[in-house]
Amino acid sequence: MHVLPSAACRIGGAGSRTPLRCLDRAICKRDQTMLQCHSALAAIAAEFTGKFAPYQAIEISPAPKGGVFIASTDKGSIACLAHDPGGKTDETIRLLPDPELIRLCRGIKTADRELRVEGDNAVVTTYRKTTSEKKETRVSRSISEFPPLAKAINHCLQRWGNSPQVSATAGRYESRYVERALKGLSGLSESVVLSAFDGGPLRIQTDEGNIVVLVMPQSAEKIPSVPEWLSEYAMSGISVDRSC
């Protein structure tokens, strides 16, 4: 009985220009998803994940004009969005924020750190002025679909536009979410910019604008009047000047 050779044998057989070992490497390469990004951005995003699926993961996806998007959200109450223009990834990856991985990824002000993931292995490299240091760990991935955060942001931007107007109302925000935002960004920048979208979340971002945290309001409130005691305090300084 004549048996046709398999596709792999035909490709790597006699007279073929593609040896079997090259084919094996190509197959392995397809199975090994590659990711490269600014590790501090991933560590900050980990601060805004939830405890249960589908909010447990950090989503890292290719950006259409280059780089990668990094996103996380805790049940929609708070969201972290970042863009690393120098990042690279073969496909969208949803990483679970393993404590050891996040510890290695955290930004430091005296050096730059890069995260590289191939398959289930991660390498975090710390680049100092004259030296570099590498540390390895394993990564875990989420099998749950990431929440439709991009669609929600798209609807919001259609309302806000690229240059949002100052909000006509004051939002009531949970202090723990604001604290998480400030704590998360403090490792990347010594100062942050705060602004409130009309009828929506408080936007907290770095000066560079490469990472934005949105804190969703509990409710919209009227902008409060200046407390009477504050006016009295201000007037007390004038009274002291006149008495001197």
158-189 pLDDT per residue, tens: 777 666 666 677 778 888 999 999 888 887 77
Could you tell me what percent of the chain has a pLDDT over 70? 80
Q: What is the pLDDT of residue 162?
A: 66
Gap between the Cα atoms of 223 and 145, Å rounded:
39
Give the mean pLDDT of 137-165.
84
Q: What confidence tens digit (pLDDT) does each residue in 34-86 have?
A: 899 999 999 999 999 999 999 999 999 999 999 999 999 998 899 999 999 99
Q: For 79-95, give one letter per residue: b (16+ CB within 10 A) or e.
A: bbbbbbeebebeeebbb
Alpha-carbon distances, residue 8 vs 17, 22, 35, 65 (angstroms): 13, 11, 29, 36
> Of the given ranges (104-113, 123-132, 161-170), which has the lowest mean pLDDT?
161-170
pTM more than 0.85: no
Look at 231 and 16; give whichever has higher pLDDT. 231
Which residues in the chain are classed under CATH 3.70.10.10? 32-222
Q: What confidence tens digit (pLDDT) does each residue in 200-219 have?
A: 788 898 887 889 999 988 87
- What dotted CATH number matches 32-222? 3.70.10.10
